[in-house]
Amino acid sequence: MVFVDGVRTPFGRAGEKGQYWGTRADDLIVKAMIGLLERNPSLPKGRVDDVAIAATTQTGDQGLTLGRTAAILAGLPLSVPGYAIDRMCAGAMTAATAVAGGIAFGAYDVAIAGGVEHMGRHPMGFDADPNPRFLAEKLVSPDALNMGNTAERLHDRFPALTKERADRYGMRSQQKVAAAYEAGKIQPDLVPVAIRSESGWGLATRDEGMRPETTMEGLAALKTPFRPHGRVTAGNSSPLTDGATVSLLASSAAAKELGLSSKMRMVSFAFAGVAPEVMGIGPIPSTEKALKKAGLTIDDIGLFELNEAFSVQVLSLLDHFGIDDEDARVNPWGGAIAIGHPLASSGVRLMIQLAAQFAERPDVRYGLTAMCVGLGQGGSVIWENPHFDGKKK
Ligand SMILES: CC(C)(COP(=O)(O)OP(=O)(O)OC[C@H]1O[C@@H](n2cnc3c(N)ncnc32)[C@H](O)[C@@H]1OP(=O)(O)O)[C@@H](O)C(=O)NCCC(=O)NCCS
């Protein structure tokens, strides 16, 4: 089972001032899908066996079973089916693992998996109606329903995870993304999007949320929106973001037959549940499960692409596995704190970034994509590098 290719839209800041305020969510995923198909012209469009597209809020322009609507709008033949997926932040990751399961079972040869979230048009939790039993029967803590509060809870639980460490991690993410942009690492997998604003037509070509000028002094002065005198700020959290990602997955045999590339081989995946009020630690058990399934240990992982929902949440995983905050294997091109985190699309963004690094790193055999998920879950996928040359650095 291979990851053939993946692309995404540049990510935009959510809200009225963001580049996608005037753009529909479904148009973002359609644009990404067209870009993916154009980059893989040897794929006969009718050979796509299914299209799984995730969104967390599945109403309005993110409703109507997105995989099907996006497939039609992207010009796939009407014979190609599609469906929608939701596992909140791990939507696109779940889309990829769901179709991977179908490929492994032999039901599919080739499938498309991705996700979209227009957090400007669909604010987090908008119109959600959690069952009153959750709180009345104390099934979850009230903090569980606000992601920022769950991050504050991690600071409470692990005193070693200080605000200073979280801020430094956030600043480093900004610096690493700026350096990756400077070196032209990120741009090749971006599909430019035509955008309309009051000043006329334009073209979105870059992630809009980056703050390369970030300093520790600037971060120290930021408000803590989730709790008075808290530790979680806009500088050590992923920002509210609009964007879409999409990937092509195939059996190794189909990829060979159709002349498609194999950028990564899926080794194992796992999802796991934790207490919802500390959802940020979710990737710890899911990673342990995925490693066990693969017969690997954490030391076998040469590159980590961890979704940075919050600094503290990534740091909790690093501490658990005894990895240094500045370890060069972790998010070498930065992460969601700078790039943004359009919820259900981010899982495939991690895969796109890992695939690009695999191509440059024949000394690395295995990589991990992992992320936390609202209501207390984690998702992890382990990948093998087809470019591995047998010589570890
Ligand atoms: C943290 C959060 C509430 C901040 O929202 P916001 O206030 O709209 O964010 P902004 O971008 O306006 O930033 C707030 C302020 O911090 C400043 N700021 C943000 N990042 C900064 C940085 N790296 N350096 C310096 N200043 C920064 C902004 O300039 C802004 O300043 P201003 O108030 O003077 O204009 C929001 O980003 C959030 O909810 N993030 C988490 C999203 C989430 O839960 N995702 C799911 C994860 S599971």
pLDDT at 5 over 80: yes
Identify whether 82 is part of a domain: yes
pLDDT at 210 over 70: yes
Look up the domain containing 331 and give its range. 2-122+141-381
DSSP state of 11: P
Identify whether 57 is part of a domain: yes
For 22-71, how does the pLDDT look when each residue is reduced to its tens digit (9 = 90+)? 999 999 999 999 999 999 999 999 999 999 999 999 999 999 999 999 99
Q: How many CB atoms lie within 10 A of CB 158?
A: 16
Give the residue from 95, 4, 83, 93 showing the smallest Cα distance to 42: 4
Mean pLDDT score of the chain: 97
**Domains held by the chain: number:** 1
Identify whether 134 is part of a domain: no
Q: Whole-prediction pTM value?
A: 0.98
Identify whether 128 is part of a domain: no
Give the residue from 369, 393, 371, 373 showing the smallest Cα distance to 383: 369
Active site amino acids: 89, 341, 372
Ligand 1, CB within 6 Å, residue ranges: 89, 147-148, 211, 214, 218-219, 222, 225, 234-235, 237-240, 309, 341, 374
pLDDT at 199 over 90: no
Which residues neighbour 295 within 8 Å (Cβ) at sequence distance 6 or greater? Answer: none
Identify whether 132 is part of a domain: no
Note the helical H segments in 206-259: 216-220, 252-257
Q: Look at residue 393 in the predicted model and tell me its pLDDT.
A: 66
Identify whether 391 is part of a domain: no
Ligand 1, from 176, 238, 316: best to mutate by most atoms within 8 Å of Cβ? 238
Identify whether 131 is part of a domain: no
Identify whether 10 is part of a domain: yes
- What's 199's domain CATH number? 3.40.47.10
For 234-258, how does the pLDDT look when each residue is reduced to its tens digit (9 = 90+)? 999 999 999 999 999 999 999 999 9
For 314-365, how does the pLDDT look when each residue is reduced to its tens digit (9 = 90+)? 999 999 999 999 999 999 999 999 999 999 999 999 999 999 999 999 999 9
